[in-house]
Structure 1
Amino acid sequence: METNQTEIKRPPKGNLHALLEILIVSTKLGLTSFGGPIAHLGYFHNEYIRKRQWMDERSYADLVALCQLLPGPASSQVGIGIGVIRAGLLGGLIAWLGFTLPSVIALVLFAFMLKGFDISSTGWIHGLKIVAVAIVAQAVLGMGQKLTPDKKRVTIGIIASSVTLLWSSSFSQVLLIGVAGFIGLWMYRNTTVPDAPHLSVPVSRTFAMICLTIFFGLLIALPLLRQVVESGWLSMFDSFYRSGSLVFGGGHVVLPLLEREVVPTGWVSNEDFLAGYGAAQAVPGPLFTFAAYLGFMSKGISGAVVATLAIFLPAFLLIVGALPFWNSVRKNPHIQGALIGINAAVVGILLAALYNPVWTTAILRPADFALASVLFILLVFWKLPPWVVVVCGIAGGTLLGI
């Protein structure tokens, strides 16, 4: 296996400069990252890895694998992890804020202004779905070339892709990643694997353990407190915290959990829930910000803030709690072999997501395929910035809708 020779750019001198840089880049991603968690990983790869070399390819793939194993919004956790590695805890918080806040604001405005308005069939929304096809295809191509360079890993990837398509659930993905790890451990047990590049994580293991303790403590204590203390705010925090803690597989998987928490309780009507889901598809950023819409519909601005913080808090606690240990664990030769298999499986899962739901919801006719091909060429071969491709996709989708 060849080592990645990309030189990793260290943070600029002066933590304030680094934090400002993270805020600018993460906000740009928050404004332009359409297409769901898989597409977000493609946007992150382009901005953080290809353009700025904040992390090497191998370490990025390992971070993605870690976040796939953790419950919560995987793309948000990857962004938080990159921010933490770049500039500490505050860097992770700012990376999350920049990536999340644009979507939160947009969905609160949707709740206020576009309640009940069906936007799912508009041309520019369809154009954004086609943009996601190009973004995910670029991610699959780039990661596939580096993480599945031989027939063994290609085979693992294709099997993972097939199983994901035939057995689509959050648990199947976790099981696949685990099985791929054991296969990689067995296949590469006698292979000399280059050491993983060192990741300097500016978080102590003591603080990491505190974060993990808080995560499990809240997960156990909140439902119990809810039975004893009659408080609408406590009930809301518990509902959204549990929804963010128990989800594997990304934003779409959290929807049924949220529906069971907010519709039967009367916080949000079923019609408003579905209208908000349509709105959530139209905005960039993580789908977990759908919580902001639901919180606003239930308790106004304060509800939006509480719901957003509650649903994302588990993601922050878990990634901060795992990173200091992950850096040393992944350097173990046996763990490296397992990661080879896991990374190949992640590519397969990305490939499956490229087909369903990204391709199946976007490419409905020959004209859609033509637009997706043009966008892919602009992104991969002409190397235009993603925001330009997004604008082109919106314009193309609008024209196709006329």
Structure 2
Amino acid sequence: MKIAPSTEQLALDQALSEFLEEEVASLVRRMAYRSPYSGTEDNREVRAMVHQALVDLGVPRLPLPAAADGTGRGQEDLVVVAEQLGAVLYQGLLPDTLTAAELLARCGEAHLDLLRRIGEGTTVALAVRSDAPGGTTTAVPAPLTVDPARGTLTGTRAFVPFAEEADHLLVLGTDTDGKLHAALVDPRARGLSRRLHEELGRGELYALDFTDTPVTAWLDLGEDSAALWRATLDGARVRHAAQLTGVSRGALRLSVERARERRQFGRPIGHQQALALRLAELAARVDAVGLVVRAAAWEADRPDTVGAETVRLSAAQALAMAAQTARRTATEAMQIHGAYGMTENSDAQLFYRRAAVESLWLGSPAELRGEVASLLRARIAARPRPVVL
């Protein structure tokens, strides 16, 4: 298992670092705080600029080794990108677009044209969750009323990011028989209404209502549609774990800077041994999580070698660790900043808000640990029992 970055990945990391220099990073961080008293037009321009830069770097290319043209980036490359973007509190359509691209690629060659356009900058938002009890999970998409004969769907979806800016909506849901369906929908189609959620992270998440909304194209998910979606979700979890690792690194960096600047009793608070040890322990934990995420990415690129269950286990473990670490590191940043950290002038509250939301995005740590426990029990049960002579 290789966890050290390759020469290409180091070059990609350097290119992203040069793009996300301090001025751009500050713009992206502030984009993560949508004030309820201001407009969002400037944020859209920043998101468009960042996405175009990522396109120019070749990031939105297919996140599968089996890309149609053989040039797709694997998960090992994409976790490098996700960690860098997490450190600046990136909000945008790249995560959903990559997940949609992976699902489209798994559906065969029917959507190669859309995959090519995604590589050129087309964006996709995922509509998977509902606001019904238990509907926020992504492992089992919420129910939908689908009518393939008429080419329409009806239902509700919640927490859809940037639905007004996406070029396509990818709607997933189960019918009354429990079969999973996936459809591409135009965000401006008739019978589709949306409203903006007010949530802790103050991002741009929308609730969508579909009423006999026409479908642009149905995806053929094959006989085992649930397994296909779960395999796609595993890749998304690995990338999200990397993004949360970046959130942790950004919050830790902010904490260290504040510990150097904030003074008590005539000297920086970072000189206090108790605080210095807390920061050192957090730094070690964040580095450890980064290694776990890279190991999960290595396995996710080799499902035929390590097995689908191993990929699922590693993805859930990495995300649970990364989510818990992000929340703890962001909380530490708030404590080190004191009352100032709760004001809009401080970036500490931005990290705290985003960590609170992002740590639940693809499963809460408690849900993930439950999945891990089930997978480990199944693995133990499958082991051959020793023969007692």
Higher relative contact order (CA 8 A, sep 6+): 1
Q: Which has the higher helix share?
A: 1
- Tell me if TM exceeds 0.5: no
Into which bin does the TM-score normalised by the smaller protein fall? Answer: under 0.3
TM normalised by structure 2 equals 0.27
TM normalised by structure 1 equals 0.26
